[in-house]
Amino acid sequence: MKRLIPLAALVLTVGCASTTTRQVVPAGTQEPDKFLFDKGDAALKAKRWLTAREYFKQVVETYTQSPLRPDAKLAVGDTYLEEGGADNLVLAMNEFREFLSFYPTNKRADYAQYKLGMTHFKQMRAAERDQSETRDAIKEFQTFIARYPSSPLLPEARARLRDSLDRIGKADFQVGLFYYRQKWYPGSIDRLSALLKNDPDYSSRDEVYFYLAEAYMKIKREAQALPYYEKLVNEFQKSEHLQDAQKRIAELKAAQASNEKKS
């Protein structure tokens, strides 16, 4: 019996909270759905997430035939996404997925797909940690690009996709660099080569070129090292490895010229 008292109190508290957060529409309001939506929009802009959410939820739950209902559904997701935090991001994800399920042909389906990608993007972890959320973000942004090639959100989706791919690339690079520093050069070469094959546009590929070339140098395969030094110099005017790469190129070409003379 003692355990029933706090449980009952909890139920009462939740019930009261639910009642007090319902928004009252003034009597005689001509467009109550629009009234609630506008109030929610104002609260959203003011970053009052909970208040905005309650206004939008009331539109979704009460005015099921309202033309504003799809926008209100998206806005509920936005309040969770902008408020942030692991739990809220999962709730935002659910809202955007439901929108795409309920309104697959809606004019704002592209927005829902983009925001779905952002729910994963905001949960991406550092390169040295698990990259499950990063891979999910990549999947959703790639879906966006495939489905909505004319969307005005396309540049943003491409930028976020690039950021996500770079996070995966950085994780792979760190493994390759670890192998290099442990002097396991074949392992480093395999990992760095795979990175370039899987993502030839990796933003920090100057580092990949440099350490891949250095790894080849360590195992006396200079002919395979040279093209990577040259790629670094040709593709990157600014890189912390630029001067070292230029020096290596000069040394390798001088050695080639010397060998040709001897032969």
- Kindly report, residue by residue over 87-120, the tens digit of the pLDDT: 999 999 999 999 999 999 999 999 999 999 999 9
User: What whole-number distance in Å separates Cα of residue 98 and Cα of residue 237?
Assistant: 47
Residue 51 lies in a domain: no
Range 154-165 burial, b when 16+ CB lie within 10 A, else e: eeebeebbbbbb
> What mean pLDDT comes out for the span 196-211?
97
pLDDT at residue 155 is higher than 60 = yes
Q: What is the pLDDT of residue 9?
A: 36
Looking at per-residue pLDDT, the higher value among 22 and 49 belongs to 49
Instruction: State residue 22's pLDDT score.
Output: 66
- Determine the average pLDDT of the residues in 174-180: 98
Q: Is the pLDDT of residue 215 over 60?
A: yes
% residues pLDDT > 70 (the chain): 90
Provide the pLDDT confidence category of residue 48 given band limits of 50, 70 and 90. very high
Q: Is residue 73 part of a domain?
A: no
Residue 67 pLDDT > 90: yes
> Smallest Cα–Cα separation from 137: which of 156, 115, 114, 120?
120
pLDDT at 65: 95
d(CA 81, CA 84): 5
Residue 186 lies in a domain: no
User: Is there a domain that residue 259 lies in?
Assistant: yes
Q: Is residue 260 part of a domain?
A: yes
Domain count, the chain: 1
Per-residue pLDDT at 8 exceeds 90: no
Count other Cβ atoms within 10 Å, centred on residue 202.
20
pLDDT at 87: 97
pLDDT band of residue 261 (cuts 50, 70, 90) is: confident
Has residue 19 been placed in a domain? no
Q: Do 117 and 137 form a contact (C-beta atoms < 8 A)?
A: yes
User: Is residue 90 in a domain?
Assistant: no
- Judged by phi (left if over 0) then psi (alpha if -120 to 50, else beta), residue 236 lies in beta
Distance CA 76, CA 52 (A): 8
Query: Which among 47, 49, 54, 50 has a CA at the least distance from the CA of 19?
Result: 54
Averaged pLDDT for residues 30-51: 96
Q: Model confidence at 262, in pLDDT bands (50, 70, 90)?
A: confident
The confidence score (pLDDT) of residue 21 equals 54
Query: Residue 6: pLDDT above 50?
Result: no
Instruction: Please state, rounded to an integer, the average pLDDT across all residues of the chain.
Output: 91
Which among 163, 149, 152 is positioned nearest to 117, based on CA atoms?
A: 163
Residue type, 260: E
Please state the pTM of the whole predicted model: 0.84
Residue 26's pLDDT band (cuts 50, 70, 90): confident
Output the pLDDT for position 220. 96
Report pLDDT for 263: 65
Share of the chain above pLDDT 90, in %: 85
pLDDT computed for residue 258 by the predictor: 76
**Which carries the bigger pLDDT value, residue 9 or residue 216?**
216
pLDDT at 192: 98
Domain hosting residue 229, numbered range:
204-263
In a domain, 94, yes or no: no
